Each structure stands twice: as C-alpha cells, then as structure tokens.
Amino acid sequence: MVLIAPSILSADFSCLGKEIVKLNDAGADLIHIDVMDGVFVPNLTFGAPVVKSIRPYSKLPFDVHLMVEKPSILIKDFADAGADFITVHLECKEEIPFLISLIKKEKKKVGLSIKPNTKVSDILPYIPDIDLILVMSVEPGFGGQKFQQEAIKKIADLKELIGRKKVLISVDGGINDVTAPACVYAGADILVAGSYVFKNKPYKKAIEKLKR
Ligand code: DX5
Ligand code: ZN
C-alpha cells in the first residue's frame, strides 16, 4: 500500500506539535519536513532546532527534504534532531557521493531528489547507494503549486530502472485525490502531500482518500 507523508509546510506553525499529533493519529506514515535555505529555493523554512522540538510528538519517521545549496553543514544537525530520512538534491552545490557518505555516517536513510527539469538518468549512478528517490512534481520552494504531469513518466521509468533493488520512490508537489492515482499506478511508494491534507480537514479523511 502507498505511504502518505504529509508535508508540514502547510501546517499551522503556531501549534506545530499539535499538528504532528493530529497527523500521527490520522494515519500518516511519515512526516515530511521541507527545509529551505532561501538560496537553493527562494523561500526559508525550518532549521534543526524546530525538528528537535517537534520530535517528541510522534514516533513516525521524519522525512527531511533539504532544499539547500550546501547540505553538508546541516546533515549532522538534522540527524541529531531526529531525522530518519535525509534527502538532498542532485542539483545542489556539493558532491553527491560525499553527501551520501555523510548521511550514512549518521546511520540515516539516504534520499536523493530531482527537480522537474532533471533527467532520471542523472540519478542512475547513485541508485545502489540510496534508500529513496524523491521525484519533484513541482519546482521546489512552495506548497500549493500545480502538479506537473511529466513526473508520471519519470516515476514509471525509475520503477523499471530500480528493478528489484529496495529503493523507495516518493513524489512531491501538487498531490491530491486526482493526481495521486496515476503516481501510484506508475510506481510511487510514497506520496508527499501538503496543501491537500491541510486544506481537507479532518486529516484522517484526506489521508484515507489519498491511500485509496
Ligand atoms: C515544495 C515542497 C513540498 C510541498 C508540497 O518545495 O517540497 O513538500 O510542501 O506541497 P503541496 O502538496 O501543496 O504541493
Ligand atoms: Zn518536500
């Protein structure tokens, strides 16, 4: 069954702890945390202290998506704060093998993300060394954008390329009850959803609808 990772980018930040509890109780499978540095993307969000402060509110895996130019200086901090998956962008400014080794050193699951204009083939060399591929179906930076259909083919191509290897395919951006089925059919294991979950209360209903 597909896993649902609500993105707290669309949560009520004035009560983030309570929001995490609600997502936990609503049947979320992971908590997706969008970290932005204002450089890699034109937006700024959470640092490791925020992750640390919300960690006690749920035992669900924290899926930290680093939309930052230089992840290396942040990996240990997010690992210490309680991240379970740490995803970096293939398009960031640092060497990918180095970043993979840093995440592995912290004994965390390694994710690699590709933006809409990055080819699936660019990620191939790293597949044996990673746990998750995050296919962006919008330009990273903001919630509430329109799903880009090209992501579907990317997911299907990745599914075929991955074969029997145990690498999860996650898709992020514009996921709702209309776009989710095609992603799952193409082979997505995880759906990241921000505005859809937070705009359709109760969260349990929204999460169930995506799973269906
Ligand atoms: C965008 C973030 C997403 C975002 C998705 O850069 O990576 O995780 O929160 O939001 P929606 O689901 O609203 O497109
Ligand atoms: Zn994200």
Ligand 1 proximity of 4 Cβ (cutoff 6 Å): no
Q: 181 lies in which domain range?
A: 3-211
Give pLDDT tens digits for 66-90. 999 999 999 999 999 999 999 999 9
Catalytic residues: 34, 172
Provide the phi-psi class of 141: left if phi over 0, else alpha when psi is between -120 and 50, else beta.
Answer: left
Residue in the block written with tokens 């930076």? 141
Nearest CA to ligand 1 atom 10: 143
Q: Is the pLDDT of residue 173 over 90?
A: yes
CATH number at residue 14: 3.20.20.70
Ligand 1 geometric centre to CA of 32 (Å): 9
Give me the number of domains the chain comprises. Answer: 1
Ligand 1 proximity of 144 Cβ (cutoff 6 Å): yes
Reported as a pLDDT band with limits 50, 70 and 90, residue 209 is very high
Ligand 1 proximity of 138 Cβ (cutoff 6 Å): yes
Distance CA 149, CA 63 (A): 24
Report CA-CA distances (Å) from 20 to 25, 115, 199.
9, 27, 15
pTM for the full predicted model? 0.98
Q: What is the pLDDT of residue 87?
A: 99
Q: What is the pLDDT of residue 67?
A: 98
Give pLDDT tens digits for 11-70. 999 999 999 999 999 999 999 999 999 999 999 999 999 999 999 999 999 999 999 999
- Structure tokens of 166? 């145990």
Give pLDDT tens digits for 135-169. 999 999 999 999 999 999 999 999 999 988 899 99
Of the chain, the percentage scoring pLDDT greater than 70 comes to 100
Ligand 1 geometric centre to CA of 101 (Å): 27
Ligand 1 atom with least separation from CA of 9 = 9
Residue in the block written with tokens 């959803």? 193
Ligand 1 atom with least separation from CA of 139 = 6
Ligand 1 proximity of 194 Cβ (cutoff 6 Å): yes
Ligand 2 geometric centre to CA of 164 (Å): 26
Q: What is the pLDDT of residue 127?
A: 96
Reported as a pLDDT band with limits 50, 70 and 90, residue 172 is very high
Ligand 1 proximity of 192 Cβ (cutoff 6 Å): yes
- Structure tokens of 130? 């990673």
Ligand 1 geometric centre to CA of 195 (Å): 7
